[in-house]
Structure 1
């Protein structure tokens, strides 16, 4: 009897492990501007999007429930020019835990203003990473792989590479659709094409990938155990951003990094040694001058 119980528990444990997913995202739909009486469509939209993001395996790795990447997706419907077609803005945020603490750090904070997609009641959410099937699943899958890739980069140096490769393939497949946000328009570098270009293809901005690792794994995760080393590595991460900024000002990846980190780094550095503070503020003023007052307060 005990052997049978043991085997049953082992089977259940194995089943839970292999079916665990990578993401645990909450989707919020702001539909106040939508010109429709059928508000139920937005409840279906929320449920379908959450199921698509959270209910599938995006990688071959095994995740415990406690390891799933937590995040939020706020979709603001700007217009509904025809039934089933939506023009929207989305903000995607993801967090990761800091080792040895209850604190969660924001790893990704990005606003995409070109979310134009079709969605109808009971619509099947079909996705194929090797071809473009429809707009909405391409959008959701793209950000799933971006979030996972950045999370992996924060734990190991360039650990997100295979996930960024898939996101890059999604962009390549979506180029045929001629939809906004997938294009290579150099006048609009805050879009999906340029984000993955700087994460995956560009050698100029690759140093920011290293900054994610230095800041999180070699910085925040060490802060309670070895603050001297942690502050040094956080400073080095900011130096990587400044290095990229000197070569490519207003890089979308630099901006995205600081959109997630500007408040946090200000609080963290207030406890750093003076020489670290002074050099860090110099770097921060170079890469994010719009928040100069905030950074000068560190000193």
Structure 2
């Protein structure tokens, strides 16, 4: 099948005269965790509901692991596992009986050995034969992951998966997803929790008022966040250093300067080049401190740029 486990093109949803999602395109590949970021009401859940077939699309196409959602709906759905909002189970039944119930509904045969395999994967061995009503929220979330991966899908989708989880539960969930991605699964996560998405995702797109305003197709999330940093040089001769920066490094603007300190914006490569130039010109570099931008910084930078364009 295709290296792209999800390909969304010109995805559009209108309700009456209101355009809820407008002409959205993105692709998710095997082995990657893709974050769909945006504030509440931006259109993230609507996009996920269209991809999973829960609501109709006004326009556009969805391909899941090479299968067209319109032409091969059943085959496309067989490649998909999803938790949209909170996972729901029969609380009076054990975790195992819930998984057996879902296994019987699957279009592909799921063996008891496969159930044991996913239970071990999500670390529910100790509780799988207890009733779900005794489970914590984190345990129910892990049972949801187990249910979603029973049939070995190529694509997993989670909508706000860490809502209500404590820090330990969030970390465990993140570790489970990274393990699944390492085994070849493509994962789509929507969230507004930017700090957590930075730790979890390989790549991301930003949705604002139904529009895809940012999608770095060929870069990893860490590369995007680390692209331009705030760098503080402590040097022996600030005046000469500033002249070098103005002459040789015009793309690295000086933010602030003091008696022995220069603060500027620079990429990692520019920082190394600036340091070499200072040393070449007999300027002693006593210290270099780098403050990396967070995904939150990047998110607000992009959304503010978009707001200025629309004014």
Which structure has the greater CA radius of gyration?
Answer: 2
Indicate the structure whose relative CO is greater, using CA pairs within 8 Å and at least 6 residues apart: 2
Q: Which of the two has greater strand per residue? A: 2
What is the TM-score of this pair, normalised by structure 2?
Answer: 0.26
Q: Which of the two has greater helix per residue? A: 1
What is the TM-score of this pair, normalised by structure 1?
Answer: 0.26
